[in-house]
Structure 1
Amino acid sequence: MELLERERELAELEAALAAAADGAGEVVFVHGEAGIGKTSVVRAFRRRLTGRARAFLGACDDLLSPRTLGPLRDAAPKDGPLAAALAGGDRDAVYDAVLDLLAAEASPAVLVVEDVHWADEPTLDVLRHVGRRIADLPAMLVLTYRDDELGPDHPLRPVLGALPRSRRLPLTGLSRGAVATLAGGTTATSAALYRLTGGNPFFVTEAVAAGPDAVPATVVDAVLARVRGLPPDALAALEQLAVVPSGAGLPLARALLGDLSVLAPAERAGILEVHPGAVTFRHELARRAVEGSLPATRRMALHAAVLRALLTDDEPDLARVVHHAAGAGDDAALAEYAPAAARQAAVAGAHRQAAALYEQALRTALPDAERAALLEDLAWTHFHGNDRPGAVRAGTEAVALREQLGDPAALGQALSTLALQQWAALQIDDGLRSVDRAVASLRPGGDSFALAFALTYRAVILVNLDREREGLEAVDEALALGGRLGLAPLRPTGLIYRGRARWQLGDAGGREDVLAGTALAEELGRLDDVVMGHTNLASLLWRYARYAELEEVLEVNRRQTDVTEHTTHDRVVRSFGARLTALRGNWAEADAELRWGLDDVEGGGMVARQALPTLAQIAVRQGSAEAPELLATAWANAESARTLPAMVATAVAEAEQAWLTGQDSLADHARALLARTEGPGRERERGELLRWLHRLGDPVAPFPGCPEEYAAGLRRDWRAAAAAWERIGAPYERALELTASGEAAPTLEGLAVLDALGARPAAALVRARLRGMGVHRVPRGPQQATRENPAGLTDRQLEILRLVAAGRTNPEIAATLVLSVRTVDHHVSAVLQKLGVASRRDAARALAALEVHR
C-alpha cells in the first residue's frame, strides 16, 4: 500500500539525519496508537539511507518478560565489540560499545529501536544514556512507541522526560481523502470504511485487502479473512510463527518450519515479511489476531515447539524460554529456567521484569526450601520496585515455609527480610516483632551470617523510628560480628546506618560513616546499598539544611537511577528534591513532583512520609480546599510511620493553617511535639515549631543552638531573620519576616512577594494588617483571570487542564509550555486526582462544570 500523508515526518527525519551528518546527533521519537504507521514511516526512511548512512535495527518484544537488552542484540554487528560487550554482561562496556558503534566511521549512523513501550529496563537505560550524549555524535536514534499504552507509571515515561530536546513525531490517522485513495474510491464510497477504521492505516489496509464485498467489523476479522485464503501448509506455518512475539530469527524459523518457502503465500498476501535476519508479521496486531484465534491446545503445542527449538542453543535467551514454557504449560521448564532468568533481570536492575519471572517460577511445583528462597528474593524485588503489599505477601509466605522446614538460620533470615517489608508498609509493630524474633532465635546458635543480617536490619528499622541509641547498639554488634566472620556484603548497610544514627544524634562525624558505607557499596558492586546510601544522605542533608550538598546528592542519585530500577529509593530522594523546590517558591513544580512520589497505597505508604507534609504545606499556603484533607492524611501517615521528622513537618503545616485561619487548636500537635525535639540533632525542627507558635502568640523564646533564621524571628529581629532566609533562598519565609516588621515599606515588599507566589491566605492577612497600620493605598493584588475554582487547582494546573480538555497530548502540552514531558505527566496526574476523575474526557467535563461556576 502507498505511504500517504507522512511527508512531514519523513522531512523531519531527513533534517535529523542532516544534523547527524554535521556531528550534532538527535533522538527522534515516532509515536502513535497501534497500527498508525510508525513502522511504515521508519521503513520508508530506512530505504532512503542506502549509501548515505549506516543503519542498525532492533525491536522490543511483547513477551511475558522482555529479553534483557534484546533490541541491542538484534542491532549489534556479529563478532563486533558491541556483541562481545553484550555477551560479557558488563553494563558499562555495553554503554561504551554502543557509543563507539555510533561514532565509529565518517558516515552517520542511524540506530532504530522499534516498540520501545515493550523495552526492558536495561534497554531503556542504554537508550537514555545514549540519548543524553548523542548531541556530540554523528548519529541519530529513532525510537518508536505506542503512546496509548503508556500509563502514568510506565517505565518509558522517565526516558521521555530525560530527553526533552528530542524531536517528537506524533502520527495521527489518515484523512478521509487518504482513506479513499487506499480504498480506490471516493470519500463518499469509503465513508463507512473511514468510520470503521478512524483513519488508522493498518485497519484500512487490512479491511481493503479482505476484499470489496464487505467491510469487516473488526481488524481481527480482517486479518483472519486474509489468513483463511492461505494453503493449509502456509496456514500451519503462519500459526506456528504467530506464537513468537515480534518475529522469529531465521535460525529459529528454519528450526520450526524447515523450508521457509512454505511462507511464500503468506508473504505474497502481505501478512508476513521475510528479512535477511528474521521473519515477522507485517504488524503485531495481525500476529495477535492469528494467535488469539487458535484453540488453547493448539497454541500450547506451538509454544512447546518453540521451546524445544530454543533449548537446542547452548546459551538460550532465558526470557524467551520462560515465555514459551509458560505458553506451553511446561512447569518443569519454568521451574528450571525462570529463577535464573529472574536473577539475571534483577542483576541488570530490571526489578519489574524480575518480579514477573519470579512469579512464573513460583507457579510451578518446587521444593519448599527453593520456593522459600525465591519468595525472599521476590520480596526484595518488590521492595525495590515499590510494591509494598507484594513485598509483604512474599515475605510472609517465605516465613511460613521456613517455619515448616525447621531451619533456625534460614527462618531468622526470612524473618529479617519480612521485618523490613512490614516496616516499609507501615506495619511497624509487626516489623519489630519479626526482627526481634529473628535476633532472639539466632543468638543461641552463635556467630552466623543470619544473625549479622538480622542485627543489621533491626538497626535499619530502629534508626528509621528515631530510636538511634538502640539502633547503634544493634549495628555496632552487627559490624563486629561481620568483621569476625568476614561478611563484607553486610558492611555497607551497617556503616550507612551507624552514620545516620550518629548524625541524627548530633554527631556530624556520622556523615563520614555514611559516605564510607556508600563508597564500599560501589566498590563491591552492591547497587541496592549505593542508592540506600544516597537516600540516607539526602535525609540528613535536608535535616541540617545543607542544601548545596543535597543538590549534589540529587544529581548523583539521578545518574544512578537512570541506569537501574530502584523506585522506592528514587521516589524518596526525589521527594527531598521537591521539598527544596517548594522552599524556593516553585510550588506548582514541587506539587507535581511530590504527587508523583507518593506510594500507590492507602494512606500514602512509606515514601509518603517525605512527600505528604510538604504537599499539605503547599496547599495551606495556596489556600487550597484540599488543605484540611491533606493535613489529616499527612498526620495519619506520619503517626503510623512513627517518624518524628514527618510528624514535625506536618505539625508545622498545621500550625501555619492555625495562624492563617484563626483555628488555634490546629497547633496542638506542634505544642505536644516540643518536648520531643529537645537535644542535639533536633535544632532545626525545634526552631521551626517555636517560630510558628510564636506567631500564634505562645510565650516561646530561642534556645542555645537555635538556627539564626528562627532565632532572629523569635527575638523579633525581622531584618536579621529576613536576611537569613534570603541567604537560604526561601522567598515565602523571607516575606513573612518582612511583613512582621510593623513598618509599611518592608510589609508592602513582603506582600508583593506573597502575591507573586500565589500565597493568597497570607496575603489577605497582610492586607488587613496594612489597613490596620493606616496605609490607605493597599495594593489589591494580581488580577485573577478567573476566580478561585472549587477544585483547588493551581494556576499551572488550570492551564494544563484547559490544554487537556482541548485534546492535547502530554508531549504536545510539554512543547507548548516548555516543560519536560515527565513534569506534565505529574501535573496531569495531580489534576485528575484533585478533580476526582479517572480519564482525560472526564477532566474536560469537570473543567466545563468549573467554568459554569465562575
Structure 2
Amino acid sequence: MRATVVSPVFVGRQEELAVLSAAAAAARAGTPGFVLVGGEAGVGKTRLAEEAASAAEEAGMRVLTGHCVELGPEGLPLAPLVDALRALTRSASPEELNRWLGPARDPLSPLLSVVEPVAGQGTGQAAQLPELVLGMIERLGAARPLMLVLEDLHWADHSTLGLLAYLTRALRDVPVLLVATYRSDEIDRRHPLRPLLSGWVRMRQARHLELPRFGRVEVEVQVAAILGRPPGTDTVDLVLDRSEGNAFLIEEMVGIVRDGGDAAGLSPSLRDLLLVRVEARSDTARRLLRAVSVAGRRVPERLLAAVAGMEPSALFEALRELVENHLLLVDEGGQGYEFRHALARDAVYHDMLPGERAGWHVAYARALSADTGLAAEPSGVPAALAHHWLAALDLPAALPALLAAAEASAGYAPAEQLTHLERALEVWPRVPDAAELTGTDVIEVLATAAEAALRAGSVDRSLALLKQALADLGEDGSASRRALLMERRARALRDLGQPEEDIALLRSALALLPSEPSEYAHAVLLTSLARAHLAEGMSEHVAEIAARAVAVAAAVGAHVEHAESLVTLGSAQAALGDTEPGMRMIDEGRRLAERIGAVETTMRAWNNHSDLLEMLGLHQEAMDSATQGLKLARRTGHTRHSGTYLAGNLVEPMMRLGRWGEAEQAIAQALRGEPEGLFAATLLDQSAQLAVLSGRREEATRIAGRAVRLASGSRDPQFHQPLAFTLAEAHRLAGDLDEALDTVMDALAADNSLWLGRYSWPLVWLGTRIAADRALLAHARRAPVPSPADPLASIAATVPTVTTPARGYALLTKAERTRIVPGPASGGTPTSPGPGGVDGPDGTPSSPGYVDAPGSPLGGLCPEWQAAVAAWRGAGEPYLLAYCLFRLAEALCAVGERRGAGDAAEEAARLAGDLGAAPLSADIGALVRRARLAFTPGAAPAEPPAGPSAADPLERFALTDREREVIVLLADGRSNSQIATSLFISPKTVSVHVSNILAKLGVTGRVEAAAMVHRLSGPHL
C-alpha cells in the first residue's frame, strides 16, 4: 500500500469534539441529544463525526452511520436509515434484530431485503413509519446507548428530513445521540433543509457546530502528519494558498506534492485540482473510476463488474490501483467501493463528455434491469432505474421506470412518490405512446399524484392535481371516474376545514351516477358522504346515508367501504340513542376490518366504540375498549394519529373515575409522540381540564388557548364545548363571572342535542352554577339581578337525558337552580355564591345524621341536592359527587341541619382531597370553618384554621376568625342583613361582630373601617 493522503492525526477541532463528547456522555446518562455539524464541502465534518463516533464506541455506545445519496429527485427514499440499518443487520443475530425492529419490521421490510415481513400483517404506511422508527431507536437505546450519525443531510429526501424532524422532537429520556452533518454552503433559502435548521437552532437539546477552515497552524500540523516529517515553509505556504484551509483540499495538495507533482503550476480550478491525481492513473483505472462516479458515491462490486464489462483480472488490477492511491475506498461492508470524498466523485463525473456519461447511465440501467440482485439493496432498484434512464435522456424507458419507482415508495414515502409522479407528468407529453407503454393514462397518474400529495400533507397541491385530472377527463368522460375524482377532491376540502364544500361536492358527484345498478363508485361516495355528515354532527340524514352505504358496499364487494360504513352507521345509531344495536354494528364493522387488514378502519371502530361507552357512563368498559385500540395503535404505528384519539378516550374515563394522576401520566405519554392538529388538541383539552379542576388556573388557560388554536379549523362540539368548559371555569375561578357565562353561552349556541348532550350538559350545569353565583352576588349587594338562568333552562329542556351522565347533570342543574329560586322545598333561603356557614339557635344539630337515600333521617330536606348526590354516587364519579355533597352540606346549613351538613362536608372533603381538587377543597374548608361544622356526629367543633401570617397587615388588630369573615364582607359594602345571609348567622350577631371590629380598628364607622381595610389589606381580603 502507498502512504496515505489522510492525516493519521486528528487535527484541531478540539472544542467541537468536546461538545460531541459531552453530548455522548449525556446520552449515555439518559438525556438524548442532537448535534448538527455544518460547514463547506471538504472542511472536515465527516472526520469530526468519525472521531466522535470512535470515542463513543470506546465508551460503550453502539454507533450506526447512514449516508444521504446524491441521486437527484429520483434518489432512494430514507437512504441514510437504510444505510444505518444495513450495518445493524450485519452485526445482529436474527433474534436481536427481531426484538429491536419490533412493530417496525413490516414497514421496513420493503427497504431492507434481509428483513422479511411477518405473514398476514402487511406493511405499514408512511404516516406510521416515523413513530415505528422512534420505537425501534428507543429499543436499541435501551439495549445499549446509541449514536446515530446521518451524513450529508443537504442531499436528504423529504421523508428522511421529516423522520429526523420527528425524532428530534419525540426522543425523550432515552440514551440516544443524533448527529447530522450537512454542507452549509449548499443550503439556499429554498432548500428544504433550511426551515428545519432554523427550528433546530432554537431547540434546547440541539447543538449547532459550524466548522471553519483551518488556519496556518492547523495546516502545518496536517501536512506534517501526512508527510511524516516537518514540512518546509514554502510547502506550507503553497498548500495553504491553494487549499485556503479546506481539509480535503489540503490532503489532495499534499498528495500531489508528495508524488512529485508541480503544485505551483496547477490551474486554480477546483475540478482541475481534484483531477490531478486521477490523471496520473492508468487508462483502465481512469475508465473504471468514471464508471464508479456514475453509480454515485458508492457501488457494489458485482454491479460494477457487470457494468464495466472487464475481465476479472483487469478489473481487480484497476481497482487495486485506485484503492492504493486513495481515490477509492473499500466500503464498510467490504462488498463494494466508494469515493474518498464526494468532491472527488463530482469532479470525475462532470469531467466526462455528455455522451460518455449517458452511456454509463444506460449500462447501469440495463444491468439493474437484468438482475436486481446486483444492487446493494434491491428495494432501491426502481429509483435507481428512474435516475439512470432520465440521466441518459431515454424518456420512453424513463417514464415506466418513474411510475415503478412511485409505486415502490407509495407505502412509506409519499413525498418521494409524488416527486416520481410529477417527473412522469413532465415526461408524459414527450413520449408519443405513453399510455400503451405504461398501461395507464395521464388522468390516473394525476389522480395517484393527488393522493400522494394528500398523504404527504400537500393539500393545495392535491387539489390542483385533481382539478387538472377533472379538466383532462372532460364533461364527456366516464361518470363513475369523474365521481371518484370528485370524492378525492372532497376529502382534500375536508382536510382544509371546508365541510360545506366537501358535502356539496359529494352530493354533486352522487348525482352524476345512475341510480341503478349500484357500482363501486356508489359505495365510495355514500361511505364518504355519511362520514362527512357524521363529522359535522349527526345530521338527520346520517343514519339513512350510512345504511345505504352498507347495503351498496356489501352488494358490490367493496369490503373497506363496507367496514367503514358499518362503523359510521353504528356510531350514528348509538349517538342518537339506539345504543345497543349501534354498538353491535360498530363491532361488526371492526371484525370485518380486522379480517381484511384495514388497520385504519379497525382503529376508527375501537375509537368510536370506546367513545360511545364513555358517553353512556360505562367508564371502565370505555377504558378497556380504548386500551384494546391503543394496543393495535402501538403495534401498527398509529399512536400519533388515531391512537391519540384513543389515548383521549382512555384519559376521559380515568378523569371521571377520579384517577387524575394516571390521567396526567397517560396524557404526558401520548404527547411524547408529538401529535399535531386536532390530535394534539384532544389531549391538550383534557390536560387543561385537569389543570383547572386542580386549581392551576393560569396553566389551564395557557394549555386551553393552545388547544383552541389547534382546533380552530373544526366546528365539532367534541372539541369546542369541553374547551369552553375549561375556559369558563378558569374565568369563574378568577372572579370574572360575566366572561365565564358568556363563554358558556357562546359554546352552547350550536345544536346541543348532538351525541345525546354529552358535551353540552357539563356546560349547561356550569352556566347555571355561574348564573346562580351572579344572581346571589347581586342580591347580596342589593344590585339588579343580571340576566337570569332562563336561557340555560330553555337549553336544558332540549338536551337528551337518556344516559347516566346526562341524567346526573340534569339533576345537578335542577339542584343548582334552587340557589337562584328559593322555595320551601329547598329550605326557603338562597345560599351564598361561595362557601357559607351557620350559627344555629343553640349550636346543636337538629338531626341525628346525614344519609342520601330515600327515607333518610333528612326526610324531605333539600331533595334536589339529595337527588343529585344519589345520581353521581351511582355514576361513580367522585369529583361531581364531592361537589354535590358540598352543596348539600351548604343547603343543610341554611336550614339548621348541622349534623347532616357535617357528614356531607366530611365526605366531600375526603373525596376532593384524594383527587387533588384544590378549589373544591378550599370551598369545602371555608364552609366547615364558617359553619363550625364537626366532621363526625357528636364531635367537638372543628379546630379553627391557623392564625394569619406574620405578613398579614391586619394581624395587629387581633381579629377573630369570624370577625375577619365579617370584615371582608363589610369592606365589600354589604349591610348587616346581607352579611348575615352570606354567613348564615343572625343580623343581631353581625351587629355585635361589627361593633367589636370598629373598636379594635379604632374607627368610628363602617365607611372608615372599610377604607382602612382596603388600604391595609388589598389582596389579603
TM-score by length of 1: 0.65
Distance 1:486 1:595, change over 3 A: closer
1:743-781 deviations in whole A, cap 9, x for unaligned? Answer: 17799xxxxxxxxxxxxxxxxxxxxxx9978689xxxxx
Report whether the alignment pairs 1:706 with 2:806: yes
State the match for 1:529 in structure 2.
Answer: 601
1:721 is matched with 880
Q: Report the equivalent of 2:305.
A: 254
2:396 corresponds to: 332
Tell me, yes or no, if the aligned pair for 1:500 and 1:511 is still in contact at 8 Å: yes
Match of 1:154 in 2: 162
**1:671 and 2:771 correspond:** no
- Distance of 1:211 and 1:726 partners within structure 2: 87
> Does structure 2 retain, via aligned residues, the 8 Å contact 1:66–1:120?
no
1:2 paired with 2:73, answer no
**Pairing of 1:36-185 with structure 2 (within 5 A):** 36-37=46-47, 40=50, 61-63=69-71, 64-66=74-76, 71=83, 131=137, 143-146=148-151, 154-158=162-166, 161=170, 164-168=173-177, 181-184=221-224
In 2, distance between residues paired with 1:729 and 1:3? Answer: 67
Structure 2 counterpart of 1:355:
418
Structure 1 residues 412, 706: CA separation in 2 closer, same or farther (over 3 Å shift)? same
Give secondary structure in 1 for the equivalent of 2:759: helix
User: Is 1:559 matched with 2:634?
Assistant: yes
Cα gap change, 1:243/1:657 in structure 2, threshold over 3 Å: closer, same or farther? Answer: farther
Partners in 2 of 1:574 and 1:674 — Cα distance? 26
Deviations 1:88-138 (A, max 9, x none): xx9867989999999xxxxxxxxxxxxxxxx9999978865655555898x
How far residue 243 of structure 1 moved from its aligned partner, in angstroms, is 3.6
**Alignment root-mean-square deviation, CA:** 6.2
Q: Is the 8 A contact 1:248 1:278 kept in 2?
A: yes
Distance 2:498 2:237 in 1: 60
Cα shift at 1:31: 8.0
> After superposition, what is the alpha-carbon deviation per residue over 1:16-38, rounded to whole angstroms, capped at 9, x for unaligned?
xxx9xxxxxxx999985583337
Q: Does 1:448 align with 2:506?
A: no
Letter in structure 1 aligned against 2:921: L
Deviations 1:504-523 (A, max 9, x none): 33444434443443343232
What amino acid is the match of 1:183?
A: V
Q: Provide Cα deviations, 1:774-814, integer angstroms capped at 9, x if missing partner.
A: 689xxxxxxxxxxxxxxxxxxxxxxxxxxxxxxxxxxxxxx
| 1:289-300 matched pairs, under 5 angstroms | 291=349
Distance in structure 1 (CA, Å) of the matches to 2:562 and 2:881: 45
Aligned runs of 1:12-23 on 2, under 5 Å?
A: none
**1:622-680: CA deviation from partner (whole Å, max 9, x where unpaired):** 27997998688567523xxx423233244435534654473836754631543645447
User: Quick one: which of 416, 427, 446 aligns to 1:364?
Assistant: 427
- Report the CA distance shift for 1:11/1:314 in structure 2 as closer, same or farther (over 3 A): closer
1:158 Cα offset (Å): 4.5
Aligned residue for 2:513, secondary structure, equals helix
- Write the distance in 2 (CA, Å) between the matches of 1:456 and 1:535: 18
In 2: Cα distance, 1:571 partner to 1:11 partner: 36
1:583-632 Cα deviation digits (max 9, x unpaired): 86969986994995445xxxxxx767757867998899427997998688
Partner AA of 2:543 in structure 1: L
- Contact 1:402 1:414 survives alignment (8 Å): no
Between structure 1 and structure 2, the one with the greater Rg is: 2
Instruction: Measure how far apart 1:463 and its partner are.
Output: 0.9
1:390 counterpart = 2:461: yes
Secondary structure at 1:447's aligned position in 2? coil
Equivalents in 2 of 1:687, 1:395: separation in Å? 43
Question: CA–CA distance in 2 between the matches of 1:301 and 1:735?
Answer: 77
User: Residues 351 and 40 from structure 1, CA distance in 2 versus in 1: closer, same or farther, beyond 3 angstroms?
Assistant: same
Residue identity matched to 1:686: S
Q: Please tell me whether the aligned partners of residues 284 and 318 of structure 2 are also in contact (alpha carbons under 8 angstroms).
A: yes
Matches within 5 A, 1:398-797: 398-403=469-474, 406-509=477-580, 510-533=582-605, 536=608, 546=619, 548-549=623-624, 552=627, 555-556=630-631, 558-562=633-637, 569=642, 593=671, 596-599=674-677, 610=682, 621-622=697-698, 633=709, 636-638=712-714, 642-653=715-726, 655-656=728-729, 658-659=731-732, 660=734, 662=736, 664=738, 667-668=741-742, 670-674=744-748, 676=750, 678-679=752-753, 681-693=755-767, 694-695=769-770, 697=774, 699=789, 700=792, 704=801, 705-706=805-806, 708=808, 715=815, 721=880, 723=882, 734-741=917-924, 743=926
Task: String of CA shifts for 1:117-175, please: whole Å, max 9, x gaps.
Answer: xx9999978865655555898x9977432497699972135556468533437597799
Query: Mean alpha-carbon deviation: is it higher for 567-576 or for 92-101?
Result: 92-101
Deviation at 1:453, TM superposition (A): 1.2
Residue 385 of structure 2: which of 321, 325, 334 is its match?
321
Task: Output the amino acid matched with 1:156.
Answer: L
Deviation of residue 274 (structure 1)?
3.1
Is 1:307 the equivalent of 2:365? yes
Q: Secondary structure at the match of 1:248?
A: strand
8 Å CA contact retained: 2:623, 2:650: no
Q: Could you tell me which amino acid in structure 1 is paired with residue 407 of structure 2?
A: R
- Alpha-carbon distance between aligned partners in 1 of 2:365 and 2:342, rounded to the nearest angstrom: 21
d(CA) in 1 for partners of 2:529, 2:224: 73
Q: 2:327 aligns with which of 271, 278, 296?
A: 271
Kindly state the Cα deviation for residue 420 of structure 1 after the two structures are TM-superposed.
Answer: 1.5
Give the structure 2 partner of residue 798 of structure 1: none
> Quick one: structure 1 residues 774 and 55, their matched pair in 2 at CA, closer, same or farther if it must change by over 3 Å?
closer
1:309 CA drift (Å):
2.7
Displacement of 1:708 after TM fit? 5.0
Paired residue secondary structure (1:273)? strand
Following the alignment from structure 1 to structure 2, what is the Cα–Cα distance between the partners of residues 289 and 732? 69
**Shift in Å at residue 733 of structure 1?**
9.0
Change in Cα spacing, 1:611 to 1:94, as seen in structure 2 (3 Å) is closer
Tell me, in whole angstroms, the C-alpha distance in 1 between the residues paired with 2:338 and 2:880. Answer: 69
DSSP 3-state at the match of 2:8: coil
TM-score relative to the length of structure 2 = 0.55
Q: How many residues align?
A: 710
Query: 1:363 aligns to what SS in structure 2?
Result: helix
Stretches of structure 1 lacking an aligned partner (at least 5 in a row): 20-26, 103-118, 600-605, 748-769, 777-854
Report if aligned partners of 2:494, 2:502 keep a CA contact under 8 Å in 1. yes
Distance in structure 1 (CA, Å) of the matches to 2:471 and 2:911: 52
Q: For 2:150, give the aligned amino acid.
A: Y
Contact 1:456–1:478 (Cα < 8 Å) also in 2: yes
Deviations 1:543-590 (A, max 9, x none): 67857347626733542453x7x9765676678789999986969986
Q: What is the CA–CA distance in structure 2 between the aligned matches of 1:577 and 1:439, rounded to whole Å? A: 38
Q: Say if 1:531 and 1:557, in contact at 8 Å, map to a contact too.
A: yes
Q: Would you say the 8 A contact 2:547–2:569 is kept in 1? A: yes
What secondary structure is seen at the aligned counterpart in 2 of 1:279? strand
The separation in 1 between residues aligned to 2:608 and 2:415, in whole angstroms, is 24
Code of the residue aligned with 2:149 in structure 1: it is T
1:435, distance to aligned residue in structure 2 (A): 0.9
CA distance in 1, matches of 2:673, 2:422: 29
* Whole-Å separation in 2 of the counterparts to 1:393 and 1:729: 56
Bigger drift between 211-220 and 266-275 goes to 211-220
